[in-house]
Chains A and B, each alone.
Chain A
Amino acid sequence: MFDAVWRNLPYLLAGYWVTVKLTFFALIGGITLGILVGLGRISKRKWIYYTVTFYVNLIRNIPLILVIFWFYFVMPIIVGRPMDPFPSAVISFIIFEATYFGEILRAGYQSVSRDLIQAAYSTGMTYWQTTRYILVPIAFRRMLPSMITQSIVTYQDTSLAFVIGLPELVRRTSIVDGLEVRSIQLFGFVAVVFFITCYLGSIVSRRFEVQKERGF
């Protein structure tokens, strides 16, 4: 029944590996940058706040495809030579997803009561120490469900790197489809792969949400 899929499985799985790699780098970079973005959005210093807010509002209002294109066109100019789709995609995703993670983190930071932070300061800790040992750990646990959900979104979004020719799963599937024209099987397969992985992810996220209710 799924013969077109079996025939091309190695090719498709190699594409899935690219999907996974892209997701991985996008998440690491996106969350790291996101932490800074989140902090920037609650910063008391005007120039940090306005710069970061401008960046966040800009990115959140435009489609990801456009950001992917933009970096694909921009990077060669800066670097001086044409660029490989993978690094270009990674950078686009990091810049894009950081804004979403940043907002989740900001909401998490703001949910930690001011009194708790002031208690930490009153024992003599600096801003960075308080942030590192008190604020981030507590906020992080609160935000875990949303972070997982956003990670699943990032994973789904990797399919958009299709447009710059990145050989991830969806692109490879459409290439195979061009040859085999067994669209129902092939795209059905991709849909099922994503469905199973994302559904499992959402169950994990819900598990953490329950814990959140009980815990801190």
Chain B
Amino acid sequence: MRLAYNFDWGVLWRAPYGVWLLQGIWLTIQLGLIAWIIALVLGVILGTMRIAPWPWVRRLATAYVEVFRNVPFLVQLFFWYFAGPMLFGQTLMFKINAISGLNYYVAIVGLGLYTASRVAEHVRAGFASIARDQFQAALSTGLTEIQMYRFVIIPYALRIIIPPLTTEFLTIFKNSSVAMTIGVAETTFMTYKIDSETFHGLEATTGAMVVYLLIGLGVVKLMGMIESRFRIAGLVGRK
């Protein structure tokens, strides 16, 4: 079969394309890591709120999770980027839009807020899997609810949910690619850019796939190390 196409794998490392790709990779890593920190902190708070004894706290957290889960991430990003500044009124809007690299910040925050809703669900599921008697045992020694959560329940739950959190960590890097739609020059954006200059998008895309695979391997390795470090003796780990 004769393909009407000349492969040119050199686009992956020839300057300036190789440099572009590297810059893109660096941005992908930044996006993923910073957004992950936001997502973790916010997610644990939200997940804990979901099982709080006060109904309005629970409802607030549930509303957050439902909104951020049921709207596609791309739509969320567009909303924050295009409509977001307008929410602050005319004068502030112009100031905000003038910030250079605005799309970068919006992407990180947007990604963090979105992923936080998913982390919150895993945290809630983690709590739900802990037997009620464990809560009661802690309380029976005189600990307050806050002490119980802080020293017994949350550390325990976090360890249980390391496997689903690993998946979420992987997903955050994949979702970072959506930021290209608002012009953030990360890996996938660069792929597109290379193609528009060289028409060798196939090679560029394949290269990008390898990049994401490697990031994925890194994440799994990292979380595996964390899992063994914090392993609870006797609990069944991932098979």
Q: What is the CB-to-nearest-CB distance from A179 to chain B, in angstroms, rounded to a whole number?
A: 13
Q: A73, B75: Cβ atoms under 8 Å?
A: no
> A159 and B70: CB pair below 8 A?
no
Question: Is A61 a contact partner of B212 (Cβ separation < 8 A)?
Answer: yes
Return chain B residues, CB-CB under 8 Å to A1: none
Contacts of A38-66 to chain B: CB distance below 8 A: 58, 61-66
Within 8 Å by CB of B70, from A70, A157, A190, A194, lies A194
Across the interface, name the chain B residue whose C-beta is closest to A61.
B216
Q: How far is the CA of A187 from the CA of B181 in the complex (A)?
A: 14
Contact bitstring A22-34, B, C-beta under 8 A = 1, else 0: 0000000000000
A187 contacts B82, C-beta separation under 8 Å: yes
B194-239 at interface with A (beta carbon < 8 Å): 195, 201-202, 205-206, 208-209, 212-213, 216
Q: How many A-B residue pairs have CB under 8 A?
A: 114
Is the CB–CB distance between B202 and A73 below 8 Å? yes
A77 CB, min distance to chain B CBs, angstroms = 5
Q: How does the 8 Å CB contact mask read for B4-15 relative to A, with 1 for contact and 0 for none? A: 110000000000
Q: In whole Å, how far is A202's beta carbon from the nearest beta carbon of chain B?
A: 7
Choose one: B74, B170, B209; the contact of A66 (CB below 8 Å): B209
Distance (whole angstroms) from the CB of B124 to the closest CB of chain A: 15
Interface of A is mostly: helix
B188 and A65 form a contact (CB under 8 A)? yes
A residues 186-204 with Cβ under 8 Å of B?
Answer: 186-188, 190-191, 194-195, 198-199, 202
Are B202 and A187 in contact (CB-based, < 8 A)? no
Q: Are A183 and B82 in contact (CB under 8 A)?
A: yes
The answer to whether A202 and B74 touch across the interface, beta carbons within 8 angstroms, is: no
Assess whether B86 is in contact with A184, with CB atoms less than 8 Å apart: yes
Q: Are B71 and A66 in contact (CB under 8 A)?
A: no
Give Cα A70 to B79, complex, Å. Answer: 27
When chains A and B are docked, how far (Å) is the Cα of A77 from the Cα of B82?
Answer: 36
Range class of the A interface residue count:
35 or more
Give the complex CA separation of A63 and B188 in angstroms. Answer: 9
Q: Mark B72-83, 1 if CB is under 8 A from A, else 0.
A: 111110110011
The answer for the CA separation of A58 and B208 in the assembled complex, in Å, is 12
Cα distance A186–B76 when bound, in Å?
12
User: Which chain A positions have C-beta within 8 A of B201?
Assistant: 69, 72-73
Residues of A contacting B205 in the complex (Cβ-Cβ under 8 angstroms): 66, 69-70, 73
Q: Which of B69, B74, B75 has the most CB of A within 10 A?
A: B75
Interface of chain B: mostly helix, strand, loop or mixed: helix
- Residues of chain A contacted by B212 (CB below 8 angstroms): 61-63, 66
Q: Say whether B71 contacts A194, CB under 8 Å.
A: yes
Say whether B209 contacts A174, CB under 8 Å: no
Which one, B86, B180, B213, contacts A61 given CB within 8 A?
A: B213
User: Residue B166 at the A interface, CB < 8 A?
Assistant: no
Asked if B178 is at the interface (CB within 8 A of a chain A CB), the reply is yes
Whether the Cβ atoms of B209 and A80 lie closer than 8 Å is no
Q: Is the CB of A163 within 8 A of B180?
A: yes
Alpha-carbon gap, A161 to B191, bound state (A): 16
Q: Which chain B positions have C-beta within 8 A of A183?
A: 79, 82-83, 86
A156 touches B209 (CB 8 A): no
Asked if A117 lies at the interface with its beta carbon under 8 angstroms from chain B, I say no
B30 within 8 A of A: no
State in angstroms the CA–CA spacing of A195 and B105 once bound together: 25
Q: Nearest CB to that of B209 among chain A residues?
A: A62
| 19 residue pairs bridging A and B, Cβ less than 8 Å apart | A58-B209, A61-B174, A61-B216, A65-B188, A66-B177, A66-B191, A66-B209, A73-B195, A77-B4, A156-B71, A156-B73, A170-B74, A170-B75, A173-B78, A183-B82, A187-B78, A191-B76, A198-B71, A202-B69
Pairs of residues from A and B, 5 with the lowest C-beta to C-beta distance, nearest first = A198-B70, A183-B83, A63-B177, A156-B72, A183-B82
User: Which residues does A use to contact B, with CB under 8 Å?
Assistant: 58, 61-66, 69-70, 72-74, 77-78, 80, 156-157, 159-160, 162-163, 170, 173-174, 177, 183-184, 186-188, 190-191, 194-195, 198-199, 202
Add 9 more A-B contacts to A183-B83, A194-B71 (CB < 8 A): A61-B213, A62-B209, A66-B209, A156-B73, A159-B72, A170-B75, A190-B78, A191-B79, A198-B69
